[in-house]
Structure 1
Amino acid sequence: MQYRTLGKTGFDISEISLGTWQVGGKWGEPFDHDNADRILNAAVDAGINFIDTADVYGDGESAKAVGRLVRSRSERIVVATKCGRRLQPHTSEAYQPKVLRQFVDDSLRNMGLETLDLIQLHCPPTEVYYRPEIFELFDRLKDEGKIQHLGVSVEKVEEGLKAIEYPNVTTVQIIFNMFRQRPAELFFNEAKRRQVGVIVRVPLASGLLTGKFDRNTTFSKEDHRNFNRDGAGFDKGETFSGVDYETGLAAVDALRTAFPDDTNLAPDALRWILTFDAVSCIIPGASKPEHLLSNLQAAQRPAPSPEQMAAVKSIYDERIRNPVHYLW
């Protein structure tokens, strides 16, 4: 495992880390703590020392599993969690310092921890980034010892650029993958300039970039890859990175010509992300230990050749850029 510095937090974290949205099983299924424990412990055994969760994942069960892991292991594990998505309705007006403080207290209690290494605002509405009082709250929480660092999880590049104007924002979690390349332009440069850590989520475009899906693949009724393709549940950019499913399948077929020796494209897709030095880590999810092991293969992959990098760019420019690039 290779490690990178998470911006101005100073944490040295595994470049391949773990996101826990579906760590308790497949999307839409009841949370399985035994399965979560297997995945989480396998991750730490493999050298992963950064784990991302949120208070809404599995209705809090994911965070409980992460807290249990941290308390049971001797290794130093950096824990990132998120807050804000519990607000209903999820509007800027609902974001209030008193409510966010309560979310932090709830996370500490739920995880059984004394302090949170990193708390992230969980994809708040764009208007929230223009409210300094929200960001000032986390300075007070840091002074109280409840948190170590503040970050944000964003939907749009513009939100990331606005967020890092606040000096106490140390990390930005953003979607970046072969099908979502815009962050590699202005945002990555600005993040590096301000020493802001970049946490890449949805690195496999909701599994589309594994190359394992086809036109006959089905998803359960409760799986966001079924109900959220048009944004019915939340921002549609979270599902397949906002790429139309049929368009994505065709693009994956084209990617196979650039990586002809690999039936599982996931390690290649992850390794491609790691070629960008602004990236601190990637947080692919896993609903079973085998998925984790597949993701870890990226660490052994050689960097893509110049020809492969050019092919990925060409496929993006020809098939993905027009419908996706300017939206997020």
Structure 2
Amino acid sequence: MNYRTLGKTGYKISEVSYGSWAIGGTWGDVDDKTSLLALETAIDQGINFFDTADVYGDGRSEKLLSKLSKSVKDKIYIATKAGRRLNPHNTEGYNKANLEAFIDRSLKNLDMDCIDLLQLHCPPTEVFYNEEVFSALDDFKKAGKIAHYGVSVEKVSEAIKSLDYDNVASIQIIYNMFRHKPHDELFQLTKEKNVGMICRVPLASGLLTGKMSSNTAFAKDDHRFFNRNGESFDKGETFSGVDYKLGLQAVEALKQIKPHNMTMAQFALKWILMNQDISCVIPGGKTKEQVQDNASSSDLPTLSKEIMSEVVSIYDQYIRESVHPLW
């Protein structure tokens, strides 16, 4: 496992880290015993950074990470998120009182005195223009409830706006073979500001594993069933906003250029890791086998310039027109 620095936090984190949405819920069946085994496997693979949120299983994944942190000797970093518990999820709800209540709840779930990294959880765009929100985060940092804070965003424009606040330590955004805009417009800016880049949805909700087909069925409690058009939250979080059938066509094209020594998932992760401006990628892993497959992408050979260029060509042919302008 290779390690990179998470921006101004100074944390040395595994370039392949762990996203815990899937072990919380809305990804079909999952049980805590299997999830804990996946988390323990992540530790064995050298992963030391775990991303979660208070709404993943209503705190379920935070509590699982609390169990993990108690069972390991070395320091692991846990980043959680706040804001999506608001109902309605609106700009007004992002106030100091609500945020403090969310932070206190996460501290209890995680059984921590201080959260390593607290991220606003894809708030409405207007929140990024509200200085009082970021002033409140500064206060929570001074009070010792959070060590650092960052933002999780839907749009590149929101990420760019967040850079106006000096203490924003990290940005989490969707970046993968089906989402190229962050590379084009954001990464150079975050590099200049020493802001860490956490890349989520790296496998496009599993599309980029190459294991799905037109006959794949998803459980009714799986967001890949109920959120394809953004019925419950931003549709970009499901298959990266790509039309499912179109995505399958693009995956078939990607399979034709995939190196023989990689799985499709490893190919997709390695493509992201080729960019040195990112800090880490956070694929989920419901099983130990998935975690092992993901983690091993760190040590695989680099991709050739020709393959990197061909990925862009496939993006241009299948994806760019319908996705690039939206986020």
Query: TM-score scaled to structure 1, two decimals?
Result: 0.97
SS at structure 1 position matched to 2:101: helix
Give the aligned partner of residue 202 of structure 1.
Answer: 201
SS at structure 1 position matched to 2:256: helix
Q: Which has the higher contact order (CA 8 A, sep 6+)?
A: 2
SS at structure 2 position matched to 1:79: strand
Query: Are the equivalent residues in 2 in contact too, given 1:115–1:148 (CA < 8 A)?
Result: yes
Query: For residues 62-211 of structure 1, what are the structure 2 equivalents within 5 Å?
Result: 62-211=61-210
Shift of 1:69: 1.0
Query: Are the equivalent residues in 1 in contact too, given 2:91–2:127 (CA < 8 A)?
Result: yes
Shift of 1:169: 0.5
SS at structure 2 position matched to 1:234: coil
Give the aligned partner of residue 17 of structure 2.
Answer: 17
Query: Are the equivalent residues in 2 in contact too, given 1:23–1:288 (CA < 8 A)?
Result: no
Q: Larger deviation: 67-76 or 50-59?
A: 67-76
Query: Are the equivalent residues in 1 in contact too, given 2:82–2:119 (CA < 8 A)?
Result: yes
Query: Are the equivalent residues in 1 in contact too, given 2:115–2:146 (CA < 8 A)?
Result: yes
CA distance in 1, matches of 2:177, 2:141: 36
Q: Unaligned stretches of 5+ in structure 1?
A: none
SS at structure 2 position matched to 1:165: coil
Give the aligned partner of residue 281 of structure 2.
Answer: 282
For residues 50-108 of structure 1, the C-alpha deviation after alignment (integer angstroms, 9 at most, x for no partner) is: 00010011110100010121122111101100000000000101211101011101110
Give the aligned partner of residue 218 of structure 1.
Answer: 217
Give the aligned partner of residue 313 of structure 2.
Answer: 314
CA distance in 2, matches of 1:270, 1:196: 21
Shift of 1:24: 5.2
Change (3 A) 1:60 1:253: same
Between Structure 1 and Structure 2, how many residues are aligned? Answer: 327
Shift of 1:300: 2.7
Give the aligned partner of residue 257 of structure 1.
Answer: 256
For residues 233-267 of structure 1, the C-alpha deviation after alignment (integer angstroms, 9 at most, x for no partner) is: 10000000000001000000101111162683000
CA distance in 2, matches of 1:180, 1:201: 11
Give the aligned partner of residue 54 of structure 2.
Answer: 55
Structure 1 residue 323 and structure 2 residue 322: aligned? yes
Query: TM-score scaled to structure 2, two decimals?
Result: 0.98
Query: Are the equivalent residues in 2 in contact too, given 1:258–1:308 (CA < 8 A)?
Result: yes
Letter in 1 for 2:15: E
Letter in 1 for 2:44: D
CA distance in 1, matches of 2:26, 2:293: 16
SS at structure 2 position matched to 1:208: helix
Change (3 A) 1:249 1:104: same
CA distance in 1, matches of 2:238, 2:26: 15
Change (3 A) 1:278 1:28: same
**Structure 1 residue runs of 4+, over 4 Å off?**
none
Shift of 1:142: 1.0
Query: Are the equivalent residues in 2 in contact too, given 1:179–1:316 (CA < 8 A)?
Result: yes
Shift of 1:289: 1.1
Shift of 1:143: 1.0
CA distance in 2, matches of 1:137, 1:122: 15
Change (3 A) 1:133 1:160: same
CA distance in 2, matches of 1:37, 1:28: 17
Give the aligned partner of residue 244 of structure 1.
Answer: 243
Letter in 2 for 1:55: D
